[in-house]
Amino acid sequence: MMTAPSDTDRCTGGQGDSPDSPGRNRQRNLVDDHNHNQGQDDGYSQGHVTGTGLHPLHQSQRRLSRASSRRASAAPLNYDVPDDYAHLEASTISPVQNPDEDPISCLDTLERVRTRDRDYLREQRRKPIPPPPPQEPESSAEDYEREKQAGVVAKRQKVSRRATELYTISYLIFFSLLGTLARLGLQALTSAYPQSPIIFPSIWPNFAGCVVMGFLAEDRMLFRPDWGQQQPNPKKDDDDDEEAKDIDPAAAKKAHMALKKTIPLYVGLATGFCGSFTSFSSFIRDIFLALSNDLAAHGSATAPVSRNGGYSFMALLAVMITTISLSLSGLFVGAHLAIAIATLFTRFDLGLPYTFVSRVLDRLVVLLGFGCWLGAVLLSIWPPDRHSVQPEKERWRGTATFALVFAPLGCLTRFYASAHLNGWLPSFPLGTFVVNMLGTAVLGMAWDLNHVPSLGGVVGCQVLQGVADGFCGCLTTVSTWVSELAALRRRHAYVYGGASVGGGLALMVVIMGSLRWTEGFGGVKCIT
């Protein structure tokens, strides 16, 4: 995957220089060269960075960046990923400003990053394919041992593109199942108790999923900057102070954020788990139910009291403002958590080991992902509670198993839509918008079919519930949506957020409102 050179022109903190001052210079980002295996000289325009007075965490990250730069030309990227993966999440933009990184803290926007990447990819496609470089003579065993002792021998194994895509899909399937179970379980846990202060169940999963997304976006310790490279010779770590002056910490930070998108495990966590844990369609459904005065506490035996349109509009605003505010707050809380515990990761060396992930976990998740998906299908065919003595038999289908069957389909659809569409309009993430609108429309139709009086049976009701909780819940996402809102420029963020909420609510008014304000919602025939 190729990433365009950064031309950040606004920096805060430290001693900011003007673009024409001698303090601003263009430095080669060796870490980015390593991460994207294209052999390009990616330059970064950054403000003046002093080499003294840095936070201990910043100093440790600088040492990791130095280690990466020393091996940049020797260690290629380990995963061969498609260029479209750059459009998946807005994780190349930090959700918050790290107070420990004031000297390198730079403001950037999602529009500028994606415009730069798009123009860079177009330019690379127009360039003629260069002739293959001449093959170097094979090194002798003595040279190999000498380089190995010096700590410059690169890993010669590289995961093919097909294997990388297989691992990515397997992670997405596996984490979509976990995200769906986490969402359904948290909804049941937080909405089933009496006198609940919040009666719409989608708020808790959306908040929790955004916390995880914020942590993953800001964290740089789970996947170290030199992740996937051989560790350098420790004897040389104390002798490269002069080399440290040539390393741009801001460039290293941006390069590491781009590196994470090339790791299938990170894609599975951010796109698979967080995207499936949160649900935009459920959020819009709750807005409509508040507008139509059908939003009641879970398990409540009393029907909502009739009210006028003004109070319904206030209820609509309450659901919308509460969900968006808490989701954005969760994103920032997760980023603050990553900053707060980064010193613990550095002190106890808690990063994920590359060897275990690449040689064990990547291969194991292929069996886990497809195996768990097949297990959900088998549990839906032969539910464990079929022969239960309880009056509500086969309840598992409506509450979990059918949702798990449809969850990977929604997650994979969102993944490919975001990868192919998000790069079209840098100021408006089209892929996320399309899947959120599509999932909202499908959920509205499933809700109508489930609440039409005297229509359908128990199994049909459970299938529709599985489509709503599984397919629509994983097809739509709040975590990616709020991370894009936080990364876009203010005007574009308001346009994108307003179009998403307004478009989703308009779909629900047409789809669910046509039944609600004509025949009325009937009772469901299955227990969910």
- Dihedral (C-alpha) 291, 185, 167, 467: value to the nearest 10 degrees? -50
| Chain length of the chain | 528
The string of pLDDT tens digits covering residues 246-283 is 556 666 666 767 778 888 999 999 999 999 999 999 99
The string of pLDDT tens digits covering residues 148-165 is 555 444 444 577 888 999
pLDDT number for residue 232 = 46
Which is more confident, 484 or 144?
484
pLDDT number for residue 71 = 41
HSE-CB for 273 with a 13 A CA cutoff: 21
Closest CA to 223 of 160, 156, 268, 180: 268
pLDDT number for residue 197 = 80
- Residue 136, SS3 per DSSP: coil
pLDDT number for residue 272 = 95
The string of pLDDT tens digits covering residues 106-145 is 556 777 777 776 676 667 666 666 665 555 554 455 555 5
Indicate whether 294 pLDDT > 80.
Answer: yes
Closest CA to 123 of 211, 40, 208, 182: 40
Tokens of 390: 């309880």
Least confident of 114-118, 235-239, 255-259, 289-293: 235-239
The string of pLDDT tens digits covering residues 65-104 is 444 444 433 334 467 777 666 666 655 566 766 665 555 4
pLDDT number for residue 452 = 85
Question: How many whole angstroms separate alpha carbon 96 and alpha carbon 100?
Answer: 12
As beta bridge partners, residue 235 has: none
